[in-house]
Amino acid sequence: MRTAEPAPAGTLGAGRDSSRCAGHDSSHGAPLSPIAIDADLRRIVGPEHVEIRPAALVPYRTDATFGFSGVPQAVVRPGSTEEVARILRWADRHRIPIVPRGAGTSLAAGAVPVQGGVVLALTRMDRVVAVDPVDLTAVVQPGVTTQTLARAVAEYGLHYPPDPGSQRVSTLGGNVATNAGGLHGLKYGNTGGYVLGVEAVLADGEVIRAGGRLLKDVAGYDLVRLLTGSEGTLAVLTELTLALRPAPATSRTGLAYFADLEAAGEAVRGIVAAGVLPATLEFLDAHCVRAVESYARLGLDTTAGALLLFGDDGGAPEVDRTLHVMAETARSHGALSVQVATAAAESEALLAARRCALPALSKLGGATMLEDVGVPRSRLPELVRRIDEIAARHGVTIATFGHAGDGNAHPVGCFDPGDARQRAAVAAAFDDVFAVAVELGGTITGEHGVGAAKLPYLAAQLGGAQVALQARIKRAFDPKGILNPGKLGS
Amino acid sequence: MRTAEPAPAGTLGAGRDSSRCAGHDSSHGAPLSPIAIDADLRRIVGPEHVEIRPAALVPYRTDATFGFSGVPQAVVRPGSTEEVARILRWADRHRIPIVPRGAGTSLAAGAVPVQGGVVLALTRMDRVVAVDPVDLTAVVQPGVTTQTLARAVAEYGLHYPPDPGSQRVSTLGGNVATNAGGLHGLKYGNTGGYVLGVEAVLADGEVIRAGGRLLKDVAGYDLVRLLTGSEGTLAVLTELTLALRPAPATSRTGLAYFADLEAAGEAVRGIVAAGVLPATLEFLDAHCVRAVESYARLGLDTTAGALLLFGDDGGAPEVDRTLHVMAETARSHGALSVQVATAAAESEALLAARRCALPALSKLGGATMLEDVGVPRSRLPELVRRIDEIAARHGVTIATFGHAGDGNAHPVGCFDPGDARQRAAVAAAFDDVFAVAVELGGTITGEHGVGAAKLPYLAAQLGGAQVALQARIKRAFDPKGILNPGKLGS
């Protein structure tokens, strides 16, 4: 389903589906002129918060996904829920697509305006409204970055566990809209587990509030969780109430090398069987270990077939105990060597191997295509073995790292961006990878989302009846199809 | 909104809305005769699993909710997903209401056939399909009781944390359908946090599977969480994949008396501020303490204004630490006295005070009306104070116990069931209690659900736009309105 033509000159990426990238569908009623769009939006948010100049719109054609682009007609930056509501009432009246956007770090083309329309950038709504250390909640606007919240709550001795890889820049609105994951899924779960309440603007401009500063609330269908992960296709999130936890007193990390991923997988089984739910349990395959070492010179053992990072947080005696159990379990399951950090700086050094996996891989061939599949934890070694077979069959390099604790793997296709044949082969290999993930009882996306990139694969996982049901849910929220069209529910 | 007429002779409860209890709506096409219903259902499930005799249907007229009843035309007990699918295809064709039912322990009239139709009892589908100690998952049919699962996973050294009060008899299908809570919400969350996947039959008989043995899966709208808590109004759950955790090594409990609930609330603030997330944090007001002591002679201090039970589980050193912190925090916040159990039997004895609150209260006036409101944790003392004021204003007795950790309170109206004026006054007082819960940023139902009992109050919490949206979601799943009509989405 991926096309492999080189990026056309003048765009930042290749529109893989360029026939749908021609501004908003004219069947949506008489289209407004760019001048009229500009004038209408300026009246709502003020002239300094609207852009229609093509050069200024270039950054909004793409997000962080390789090979997807669209052509927005405008970008608008509202400053309040009321402005969002007015924009949606206007868009609803004129049937203009609205593409909500945070920091634009989507890896599934979730923020690409594939059917044109107006990009609704929520980055101005960036206020931490409240942190409550008794209710253990934070109330934030959607444009607050993950890291900003983490720092704000740390001042109260509190902890917001979800930490997607892009947390330095990604926004909480985007995190919630995609139910973003991170490194601590096994112990702490994903973003969705921390969303207690939302304020959201429906497609017709109506403002609703669901949930709140409540750990228990079963009044009605769970719209908080339905909107979480709905990728801007059901409503626009304008305020979030998030759950916090007490900050763990300490955290520590260890590292083990194995001959292959099967052996690392056996160690993971052993750790879980020993009753430990580690805060961190990450793996790198041999490709990744070698790429990271060549990139960052961390002193990794490049002869190893797999690297397992393990870590925990909490009270010091308990962390000492779980680190000891994990290190001993790794040893008794054939680890080639095991290191356990004794100090925070050493823990950070070990984690660096995982953190620089993606930049290191991007040096290998020149370009990378990052994927995101998931399987039950017990099937992860089999998944990676099958990915290796697929890569060999297609004659491409796919390196895999990911979350051994929660079964979420990130295979990365490495290729020369100027070599169309290589690119096509990587795309074809990923088609096979998705099919294998589904065959193993898994998912085509563990944490990146569906966006435009995964939509063609969704029915293979969910079945036609469920995809049809999802489209009916979409219509219940957005009968005119103006919210992020060409994505979920389409 | 509650009516107060005595129960009509010949029913087990008072149909508070008896105009809607007259069999299925004849506007749903030409109604089938009882004989035809019987014959059709017998063909699907076999003759021994269908009942249409009025005497045999009596238990299916009500659930555990005071004052609600309906008149079902039949009860059918399918043995497989395929049989459920065939029953729904049949019901869809004939527009016959289907009321899914587990153990019938609903406290919100969620399982009452208020519009008649066929009760779909899922108790025969009671198989624990699989327990996987590596993936930390259990796969169960909906008729498995909560306690059966808890025991099945304990054999693997695993733990299924949700423990609704009715766990000995309540089914997991019912727990998931209502997103049931329990005593450990603050540390462990509710049932919804443990539902990884569902198999469900849609209103037209189509079978879907959403989620699976996966901690991370963002492929599409989160139907797992939308169906969780949908109270049988969107689909019939036929298989559940649930998350497990390692069993905690130990657990311990303590008890503190306070002069009033405000003081107990200050201790709760102090415990959370000290960075402890206790597994148990329950309260009883003075009415409850006195009722329990008079009922069970546990040696409680009946002069105290409030009792706080606190407990934790995990590794022994950490539990020692958190129990010490909680006991010291209670003392430094004015506790009249504090006891900490040193052995498991002693912990059980302390918990008995909480466990027998409801039976003890039912001895007070003869009948009880149990309610279920929630507020942010910090507002709980204010809620209970306002409940006391409301009770005084209406001249009724309302005793309150509940979950201090998660803000969920259970006010219990105690009255003489033969005294219609008392009953009406309790019902009127609860109308005021719901309004106060919403005013304090809370909910009309923390864990019992909406059912038929809370439906009239839903718009006061959610607003008309959101209730209308919920009705559109209902129609996206069940356009003919056959699934548990007169409940959520109606």
Query: Quick check: B468 pLDDT over 90?
Result: yes
In this structure, are strands A98-101 and A118-121 parallel, antiparallel, or unpaired?
Answer: parallel
Residues of each domain in chain A carrying CATH 3.30.465.10: 128-246
Looking at residue A362, what is its pLDDT?
86
Q: B375 and A221: CB-CB below 8 Å?
A: no
Give ipTM to 2 decimals: 0.94
pLDDT given at position A14? 34
Confidence (pLDDT) at B29:
53
Helix B286-296 to helix B357-365 angle (10° resolution) is 90
Rounded to 10 deg, the angle between the B357-365 and B344-355 helix axes is 30
Residue pair B262/B152 in contact (Cβ under 8 Å)? The answer is no
Q: Which residues of A touch B189 (CB under 8 A)?
A: 193, 215
Nearest CA in chain B to A133: B273
Percent of chain B with pLDDT over 70: 94
The model's pLDDT over B243-255, given as tens digits with 9 standing for 90+, comes to 999 999 999 999 9
- What's the rounded mean pLDDT across residues A218-223? 98
Å from A227 to nearest chain B CA? 8
pLDDT at A31: 83
**Beta strand pairing call for A373-374 and A337-340:** unpaired
A373 pLDDT more than 50: yes
What is the domain class of B128-246 according to CATH? alpha beta
Q: Chain A: nearest CA to B457, how far in angstroms?
A: 9
Do the strands B408-415 and B367-370 form a parallel or antiparallel pair, or are they unpaired? antiparallel
Contacts of A133 in chain B (CB under 8 A): 272-273
Given a cut of 70, whether residue A5 has pLDDT beyond it is no
User: Which strands form B195-201's sheet, in the order they lie side by side?
Assistant: B128-132, B137-140, B236-243, B195-201, B207-211
Residue A270 has pLDDT above 80, yes or no: yes
**What's the pLDDT score for residue B86?**
98
Q: Which residues of A touch B212 (CB under 8 A)?
A: 376, 441-443
The per-residue pLDDT for range B60-77, each reduced to its tens digit, is 999 999 899 999 999 999
Q: Hey, are the CB atoms on B377 and A134 less than 8 Å from each other?
A: yes
Give the CA angle between residues B305, B311, B315 to the nearest 5°. 165
Return the pLDDT at B360: 93
pLDDT tops 50 at residue B24: no
Q: Is A275 left (phi over 0), alpha (psi -120 to 50) or beta?
A: left
Q: How many CB contacts within 8 angstroms connect chain A with chain B?
A: 288
Comparing CB atoms, the residue among A132, A272, A473 nearest residue B476 is: A473
DSSP A47-90: GGGEE--HHHHGGGS--SSTT-----SEEE---SHHHHHHHHHH
* For residue A357, pLDDT beyond 50: yes
Contact A221 B215 (CB under 8 A): no
Quote the mean pLDDT of chain A.
Answer: 92
Q: Name the class of domain B250-439.
A: alpha beta
Q: What is the largest CA-CA distance in chain B?
A: 70
pLDDT tens for each residue of A94-113: 999 999 999 999 999 999 99
- What are the pLDDT digits (tens) for B195-240? 999 999 999 999 999 999 999 999 999 999 999 999 999 999 999 9
Identity (one letter) of the amino acid at A350? Answer: L
Residue whose token pair is 């934890």: A377
- Rounded to an integer, the average pLDDT of A138-155 is 98
Report the gap between the CA of A441 and the closest CA in chain B (Å): 7
Band of the pLDDT at A343, cuts 50, 70, 90?
A: confident
Average pLDDT over residues A362-373: 90
* Contacting residues of A for B217, CB less than 8 Å apart: 374, 442-443, 445-446
pLDDT in tens, B29-48: 568 999 999 999 999 999 99
Residue ranges matching CATH 3.40.462.40 in chain A: 250-439
- pLDDT at residue A430 in the model: 98
Chain B nearest-CA distance from A9, in A, is 33
Distance CA B176, CA B237 (A): 9
Q: For residue B157, which residues of chain A lie inside 8 Å, CB to CB?
A: 275
Type of residue at A344: A
From A208, A213, A477, residue closest to B376, measured CB to CB: A213
Instruction: Give CATH 3.30.43.10 domain extents, chain A.
Output: 18-121
Give B245's contacts in chain A (Cβ within 8 Å): 277
Within 8 A of B207 by CB-CB distance, chain A residues are 465
Q: Is the separation of the CB atoms in A250 and A314 below 8 Å? A: yes
Vertex B132 angle, CA B127 and B135, to 5°: 135
Binary contact (B216, A446; C-beta < 8 A): yes
B272 vs A134: CB contact, 8 Å cut-off?
A: yes
pLDDT score at B396: 96
Whether the per-residue pLDDT at A19 is higher than 70: the answer is: no
Whether the predicted pLDDT of B8 surpasses 50: no
Section A354-366 average pLDDT = 87
Q: How confident is the model over A250-255, as a mean pLDDT?
A: 95
Going by their DSSP bridges, the two strands B245-246 and B207-211 should be labelled as unpaired
pLDDT confidence band for B2 (50 / 70 / 90): very low
From chain A, the residues in CB contact with B469 under 8 A are 202, 208, 223, 476-477
DSSP secondary structure string, A181-217? --TTHHHH--GGGGEEEEEEE-TTS-EEEEE-S-S--
Assign domain B18-121 to its CATH architecture: 2-Layer Sandwich (3.30)
Tokens of A53: 């100049």
Q: Which of B28-32, B48-52, B112-116, B273-277 has the lowest mean pLDDT?
A: B28-32
* Tokens found for residue A120: 């609704």
Percent of chain B with pLDDT over 90: 87
pLDDT at A16 over 60: no
Partners of B285 in the beta sheet? B306
| pLDDT tens digit sequence for A172-217 | 999 999 999 988 989 999 999 999 999 999 999 999 999 999 999 9
Taking only the tens place, the pLDDT of each residue in A20-71 is 333 444 444 568 999 999 999 999 999 999 999 999 999 999 999 989 999 9
Taking residues A225-250, report their average pLDDT: 97
Radius of gyration of chain B (CA): 23
Give pLDDT, residue A29: 53
Which of A202, A406, A444 minimises the CB distance to B219?
A444
